[in-house]
Amino acid sequence: MKKATFILLTLISFQVSAQKIIQRDPIIEQLVSEVNADSLKSHINKLVSFGTRHTLSTTTEPKRGIGAARNWVLSRFQEFAKQSEGRMTAKIDSWILKPDGKRVDKDQDMGNVMGILKGTDPNDDRIFLVSGHIDSRVSNVMNRESDAPGANDDGSGTATVIELARVMAKAKFSATIIFLVVSGEEQGLLGADYLAQKALDEKWNIEAIMNNDIVGSNNSHDTRIIDNTRVRIFSEGLPAFELDKKAGSIRSLGQENDGKARQLARYAKEVGERYVDNLEVVMVYRNDRFLRGGDHTPFVNRGFAAVRVTEMNENFEHQHQDLRTEKGIKYGDFPEFMDFEYLRKNTAMNLATLSNLAKAPATVQNLTIDTKNLTNSTTLFWQTPKSGKVKGYYVLIRETYQPFWQKKIFTTKNGINLPYSKDHYFFAVQAVGEDGNESLPVLPKVGM
């Protein structure tokens, strides 16, 4: 091929892809631009300065251990709350842990640090939650004495949550956002389990949980890949919660790729990539990685939509390791192994997703697909969301074998008839707010 032809073809293919219109909400765009790599780095350096943040470490010393680290996070949230015109409050939700014969061997004073940014709409009871875990560990999970810097696991997730609170505290969202820093992850997801049960008992209307765990390093220890342009979102396929009750309809409708967590992951991919340049959100069709767990799971197990955000490649020489050098390899979870620009992008992806959700109206109600007649078309109807001002709705369409929505049709009506067969497409509807922010998609129930 001649060079000129090659250049021409390159230009044409660029123009074709450039035709995808990206519309950004200027308020979210501004917030995304305020996420700062140096700020994230300073949060992590401070977290590392507490020596260890092991769940069973001291809670009484002023500068060492998990108690001091929690108090510091609380003080940051309290500081950010000053910009919120009274909407944000902060607290440590405490309880006493009892020995469990597994990874807890004494009574321990526990605490999840929470920054709660109340929504501006009193009729909007939705909650969006973003989490990271503050506890750290070395090789032996019971070792509470040795230094465990936990810069990436999970200083990165904790710093993400702190940075989001810093940037978002002053902004107005109709729904409530909870910035959550949990304890006890390494001892068995204890802090997340405690809160998930509380949320269930108290009937919190949590629509989405973004759990960030190990999101700030860009390389693998074995395959030696270096990449700071991709991040993974893990989401369950079939729901862990009440699968026996739901299996029949999932099977007959072919909805094994459309659970709540999967919808959230798809949404985060679309919205995250809309606002964050040079970042691809890679969906992983499983709940978590091999041999590892995470704080989204206690929520998933209770029926909430929760996903795990994790870096693309992991360096296991820097996770759960005693600090040492062996055969020239430095082991340990130190800040020097992190990529703060990568962490900035991953934090910004969280920010865009949470902001777009919390600014959007609630989801549509009673979305139904008409199946009473044999037709080659599709009729959908739905009711207005419980809260939020609606500009209109997106009707989303994709072929059943496609991973992502392929067509998006805007309507201001509460129903639509489409020349696409209900037999070989999936449909969903999103409510769209006045500034263009979309709710999570809802899939139709079958009805008349």
Q: Give me the residues that bind Zn ion (CB under 5 A), please.
A: 153-154, 213
Closest separation in Å from C-beta 221 to Zn ion: 16
Q: How many residues does the chain have?
A: 448
Which residue, 315 or 356, has its beta carbon nearer to Zn ion? 315
Which residue, 156 or 378, has its beta carbon nearer to Zn ion? 156
Closest separation in Å from C-beta 288 to Zn ion: 11
Which residue, 131 or 378, has its beta carbon nearer to Zn ion? 131
- Phi, psi (degrees; rounded to nearest 5) at 442: -115, 140
Closest separation in Å from C-beta 255 to Zn ion: 31
Closest separation in Å from C-beta 53 to Zn ion: 11
- Phi, psi (degrees; rounded to nearest 5) at 366: 50, 45
Which residue, 235 or 430, has its beta carbon nearer to Zn ion? 235
Tokens representing 290? 């091999």
Closest separation in Å from C-beta 185 to Zn ion: 5
Which residue, 213 or 314, has its beta carbon nearer to Zn ion? 213
- Phi, psi (degrees; rounded to nearest 5) at 52: -125, 150
Closest separation in Å from C-beta 27 to Zn ion: 32
Tokens representing 212? 């960030």
Rg (CA), the chain: 23
Closest separation in Å from C-beta 315 to Zn ion: 13
Burial call 51-84: b when 16+ CB within 10 Å, e when fewer: bbbbbbbbbeeeebbbbbbbbbbbebbeebbeeb
Closest CA to 148 of 205, 187, 96: 187
Rounded-to-integer distance, Cα 11 and Cα 14, Å: 5
Closest separation in Å from C-beta 136 to Zn ion: 8
Which residue, 213 or 339, has its beta carbon nearer to Zn ion? 213
Rounded-to-integer distance, Cα 54 and Cα 324, Å: 18
Closest CA to 255 of 266, 265, 263, 264: 263
Q: Is the dihedral of CA 135, 137, 143, 144 positive or negative?
A: negative
- Residue 296 makes CB contacts below 8 A (sequence gap 6+) with 131, 192, 209, 211, 234, 261, 287, 288, 306, 307, 308
Closest separation in Å from C-beta 160 to Zn ion: 12
Whether omega before 258 lies within 30 degrees of 0, making that bond cis, reads no
**Residue 204 CA: distances (Å) to CA of 119, 129, 181, 267, 365:** 14, 11, 18, 22, 18
Number of H helices, E strands in the chain: 10, 17
Closest separation in Å from C-beta 133 to Zn ion: 6
Angle (nearest 5°) at CA 268 between 263 and 269: 100
Q: How far apart are the first and last CA of the chain?
A: 58
Which residue, 154 or 193, has its beta carbon nearer to Zn ion? 154
Closest separation in Å from C-beta 292 to Zn ion: 8
Which residue, 159 or 428, has its beta carbon nearer to Zn ion? 159
Rounded-to-integer distance, Cα 238 and Cα 250, Å: 8
